């Protein structure tokens, strides 16, 4: 049986795992999936894992993270393919009061009132910490914690350790114990594009191209929509 090793970040993970069995059945390719953060530092990042192993064939991560990998010469030129987009959103613990985040002022008050705001230390968390908080002039007033992955932040939220989680909408939906408030206001929004590409050390180039073609086809459309994302071909 043909084999393929994929490493994926949280943003596209829900849609990917929903359609992967269909791909494996249709092609006879056996896929092993690893997980990592699109950006950031430390052993949980995709970049770190790629630098320490040579058997990964396909990466799926935020466009910003992919650009970092491409700059290091890790990616096959021209193999990049946009898969889906997702906006930044916020969530609270299931059963708690739903604060207002509908406009800038409401979001600012909600952030300041939160005992602790959590976010993944990847593309979305970097944006919130380095751009959103300073733009709202609350960088030194809001209590926040950056954690390795989106699942870490939603787990803290569900466990009552934090009052608010911010991250890609696709990493907030269907998480246990979490209630999604919706997307952040447009003027402080980061719409991430999750992208697939082939790693230049891959020994399974044909199978890698098959997977990327499948993920960009209509066959993946329903799963993308269900996971709180929009297909790149329908995003304008």
234 class by beta-carbon count within 10 Å (0-12 exposed, 13-18 middle, 19+ buried): exposed
The verdict on 172 and 123 lying in the same domain is: yes
pLDDT of residue 79: 97
Domain count, the chain: 2
Can you name the residues that pair with 192 across neighbouring β-strands? 86
**Digit-coded pLDDT (tens) for 118-161:** 999 889 999 999 999 999 999 999 999 999 889 999 999 999 99
Helix axes 13-27, 205-215, angle to 10 degrees: 120
**Residue 8: pLDDT above 70?**
yes
pLDDT of residue 234: 56
Summarize the confidence of residues 56-79 as an average pLDDT: 96
The verdict on 67 and 120 lying in the same domain is: no
pLDDT of residue 5: 97
pLDDT of residue 47: 93
The verdict on 38 and 111 lying in the same domain is: no
The verdict on 93 and 175 lying in the same domain is: yes
pLDDT of residue 236: 44
The verdict on 122 and 167 lying in the same domain is: yes
Confidence band, pLDDT 50/70/90 cuts, at residue 54: confident
The verdict on 137 and 182 lying in the same domain is: yes
CA distance 45 to 63: 14
CA distance 30 to 78: 25
Which stretches of 28-92 are DSSP H helices? 46-52, 63-71
pLDDT of residue 233: 72
How many residues comprise the chain?
236
Q: Which own/partner contact pairs does 183-188 have at CB distance under 8 Å and 24+ positions apart?
A: 183/87, 183/88, 183/89, 184/87, 184/88, 184/89, 184/90, 184/101, 184/107, 184/132, 185/101, 185/102, 185/103, 185/104, 185/107, 187/104, 188/104, 188/107, 188/132, 188/135, 188/136
**Residue 82: pLDDT above 90?**
yes
**Residue 183: pLDDT above 60?**
yes
Can you name the residues that pair with 33 across neighbouring β-strands? 6
The verdict on 165 and 104 lying in the same domain is: yes
The verdict on 65 and 113 lying in the same domain is: no
Which CATH number do you get for residue 113?
3.40.190.10
For the chain, the average pLDDT equals 94
Q: Is the whole model's pTM more than 0.85, yes or no? A: yes
Question: What percentage of residues in the chain have a pLDDT greater than 90?
Answer: 90
The verdict on 56 and 14 lying in the same domain is: yes
* Residue numbers of the domain that contains 23: 2-85+193-234
192 class by beta-carbon count within 10 Å (0-12 exposed, 13-18 middle, 19+ buried): buried
Phi/psi at 15 (5° precision)? -65, -45
The verdict on 165 and 209 lying in the same domain is: no
**Digit-coded pLDDT (tens) for 17-28:** 999 999 999 999
Q: Give CA angle at 31 (27, 34), nearest 5°.
A: 155
The verdict on 110 and 52 lying in the same domain is: no
Closest alpha carbon to 112 in 92, 91, 93, 140: 140
CB atoms closer than 10 angstroms to residue 108? 19
The verdict on 181 and 203 lying in the same domain is: no
Summarize the confidence of residues 227-236 as an average pLDDT: 77
Summarize the confidence of residues 187-192 as an average pLDDT: 96
Summarize the confidence of residues 23-43 as an average pLDDT: 94
């Amino acid at each position: 049986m043909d084999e393929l090793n994929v490493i994926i970040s949280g943003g596209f993970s829900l849609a990917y795992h929903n359609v992967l069995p269909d791909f494996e059945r249709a092609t006879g390719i056996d896929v092993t999936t690893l997980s990592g953060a699109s950006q950031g530092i430390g052993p949980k990042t995709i970049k770190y894992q790629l630098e320490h192993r040579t058997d990964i064939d396909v990466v799926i991560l935020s466009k910003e993270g992919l650009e970092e990998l491409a700059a290091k010469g890790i990616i096959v030129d021209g193999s990049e393919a946009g898969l889906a987009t997702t906006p930044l959103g916020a969530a609270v613990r299931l059963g708690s009061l739903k604060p207002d985040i509908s406009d800038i002022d409401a979001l600012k008050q909600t952030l300041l009132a939160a005992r602790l705001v959590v976010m993944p230390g990847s593309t979305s968390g970097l944006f919130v910490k380095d751009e959103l908080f300073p733009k709202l002039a609350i960088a030194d007033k809001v209590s926040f914690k950056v954690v390795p992955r989106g699942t870490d932040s939603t787990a803290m939220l569900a466990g009552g350790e934090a009052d608010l989680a911010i991250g890609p909408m696709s990493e907030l939906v269907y998480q246990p114990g979490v209630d999604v408030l919706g997307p952040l206001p447009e003027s402080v929004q980061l719409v991430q594009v999750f992208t697939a590409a082939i790693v230049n050390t891959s020994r399974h180039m044909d199978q890698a191209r098959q997977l990327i073609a499948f993920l960009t086809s209509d066959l993946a459309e329903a799963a993308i929509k269900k996971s709180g994302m929009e297909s790149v071909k329908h995003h304008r």
